[in-house]
């Protein structure tokens, strides 16, 4: 008889888990509180770890069909000086599809694998013995997964949260129209004090823009976007700024650290377990690799609670490392004193050329997923 898993939340982590467990022969039910499965249309960074996960799931071709193949990620300061250049050769790739394309590719794998997807399904409780409760009643399973995001209430039902840190940044995501002379394979991240403008080639027709600023800068977080503010901060990107879209999304950039990732037969995955700012573009990639390891551990489990503890012990160190570096990145960007901003440029330019920095920055991106 097939093992069963109940998943609360149909975001990227929940869909990845549903696709993988169903691929392994499990009976999977995926619960989504919204009435439709929808994803905001910004872009997403897929590093080697995430790309290999998608290949295993059979979702790779569809997910990246329109994606730009990125050759370099570089950081530029307000004087136009390149502070970091991170190449992405063929053995260490990064592709940048629209997030909605990735989302749909995972949905289609779930449907093809026979996953039961229940929308408008509000999960109200999880229990360590392997019970998920919705407004429609209780459901028993060999495994229950909490995948309903950084602000998960379900996480606290197993006392999972260690801390949440809202940091000092606000972020705005949007897609803008493409022009023929736009770079097609280089990501440029412009810095000016604690303000940031990130240009991402995405598809032949659109580019992805991410903006971040101190959360107390009211002009920086207003929607529609205050183009005059961003043009003042980044005159070198004025051609991009004049194309800023009205269809934007504003977010606080939050960190979540858990006391534990599981209790009994309940496990926490994705942003519910380890939300991090998008500074390294590794939140989804980290979720994917953790899900792959979880699926293997659970599929082989004789005792599920013990298998979940072992899974966390295997994966936690790398996840903590990626999350810490994402947090540190934001700290350097946002809290560096304005009076010595040139020193920040000098330090980052020097450090980014060292082997230690390269390995630490990219440890998660280069990780090979289990499976």
Task: Give the whole-angstrom CA distance, residue 127 versus residue 131.
Answer: 5
Both tokens assigned to 140: 């028993």
In total, how many domains does the chain have? 1
Both tokens assigned to 144: 């229950």
Burial 74-83 (b: 16+ CB within 10 A, else e): bbbbbeeeeb
pLDDT in tens, the chain (371 residues): 899 999 999 999 999 999 999 999 999 999 999 999 987 669 999 999 999 999 999 999 999 999 999 999 999 999 999 999 999 999 999 999 999 999 999 999 999 999 999 999 999 999 999 999 999 999 999 999 999 999 999 999 999 999 998 877 889 999 999 999 999 999 999 999 999 999 999 999 999 999 999 988 999 988 889 999 999 999 999 999 999 987 777 888 889 999 999 999 999 999 999 999 999 999 999 999 999 999 999 999 999 999 999 999 999 999 999 999 998 998 899 889 988 999 999 999 999 999 999 999 999 999 999 87
Residue 269 within any structural domain of the chain: yes
Asked if residues 166 and 61 have their Cβ atoms less than 8 Å apart, the reply is no
Both tokens assigned to 296: 């293997």
Residue 237 within any structural domain of the chain: no
Domain of 338, in residue numbers: 4-62+98-166+255-362
Task: Give the whole-angstrom CA distance, residue 319 versus residue 361.
Answer: 12
Asked if residues 26 and 300 have their Cβ atoms less than 8 Å apart, the reply is no
Enter the pTM of the model. 0.96
Residue 175 within any structural domain of the chain: no
Residue 290 within any structural domain of the chain: yes
pLDDT of residue 132: 98
Asked if residues 220 and 233 have their Cβ atoms less than 8 Å apart, the reply is no
Both tokens assigned to 105: 């590719």
Residue 48 within any structural domain of the chain: yes
Q: What is the per-residue pLDDT across 211-242, written as a single tens digit (0 to 9) for each?
A: 999 988 999 988 889 999 999 999 999 999 99
pLDDT of residue 221: 84
Residue 68 within any structural domain of the chain: no
DSSP state of 270: T
Task: Give the whole-angstrom CA distance, residue 8 versus residue 153.
Answer: 11
Query: What are the angstrom distances between the C-alpha of 147 and each of 12, 25, 44, 152, 320?
Result: 9, 20, 19, 8, 18
DSSP state of 19: H
Residue 206 within any structural domain of the chain: no
Task: Give the whole-angstrom CA distance, residue 316 versus residue 164.
Answer: 17
Task: Give the whole-angstrom CA distance, residue 237 versus residue 76.
Answer: 11
Asked if residues 139 and 133 have their Cβ atoms less than 8 Å apart, the reply is yes
Q: Which CATH number fits the domain that encloses residue 36?
A: 3.50.50.60
pLDDT of residue 215: 87
Residue 199 within any structural domain of the chain: no
């Amino acid at each position: 008889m097939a093992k069963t898993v109940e998943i609360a939340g149909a975001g990227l982590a929940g869909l990845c888990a549903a696709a993988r467990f169903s691929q392994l022969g499990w009976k999977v039910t995926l619960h989504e509180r919204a009435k439709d499965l929808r994803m905001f249309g910004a872009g997403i960074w897929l590093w080697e770890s995430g790309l290999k996960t998608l290949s295993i799931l059979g979702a790779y071709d569809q997910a990246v069909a329109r994606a730009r193949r990125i050759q370099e990620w570089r950081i530029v300061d307000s004087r136009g000086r390149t502070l970091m250049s991170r190449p992405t050769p063929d053995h260490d790739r990064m592709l940048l599809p629209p997030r909605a394309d990735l989302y749909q590719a995972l949905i289609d794998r779930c449907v093809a694998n026979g996953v039961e997807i229940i929308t408008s399904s509000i999960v109200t409780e999880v229990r360590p013995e392997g019970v998920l409760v919705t407004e429609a009643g209780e459901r028993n399973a060999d495994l229950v997964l909490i995948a309903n995001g950084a602000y998960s209430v379900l996480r606290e039902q197993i006392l999972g949260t260690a801390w949440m840190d809202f940091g000092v940044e606000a972020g705005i995501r949007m897609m803008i129209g493409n022009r023929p002379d736009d770079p097609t394979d280089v990501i440029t991240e412009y810095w000016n004090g604690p303000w940031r403008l990130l240009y991402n080639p995405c598809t032949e027709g659109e580019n992805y823009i991410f903006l971040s600023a101190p959360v107390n800068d009211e002009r920086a977080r207003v929607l529609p976007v205050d183009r005059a503010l961003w043009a003042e901060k980044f005159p070198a990107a004025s051609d991009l700024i004049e194309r800023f879209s009205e269809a934007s999304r504003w977010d606080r950039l939050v960190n979540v650290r858990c006391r534990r990732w599981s209790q009994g037969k309940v496990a926490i995955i994705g942003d519910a377990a380890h939300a991090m700012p998008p500074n390294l573009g590794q939140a989804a990639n980290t979720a994917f690799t953790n899900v792959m390891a979880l699926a293997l551990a659970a599929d082989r489990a004789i005792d599920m609670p013990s298998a979940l503890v072992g899974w966390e012990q295997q994966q936690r160190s790398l996840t903590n490392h990626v999350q810490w570096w994402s947090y540190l990145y934001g700290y350097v960007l946002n809290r560096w004193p304005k009076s010595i901003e040139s020193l920040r440029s000098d330090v980052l330019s020097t450090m980014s050329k060292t082997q230690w920095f390269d390995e630490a920055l990219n440890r998660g991106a280069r990780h090979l997923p289990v499976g």
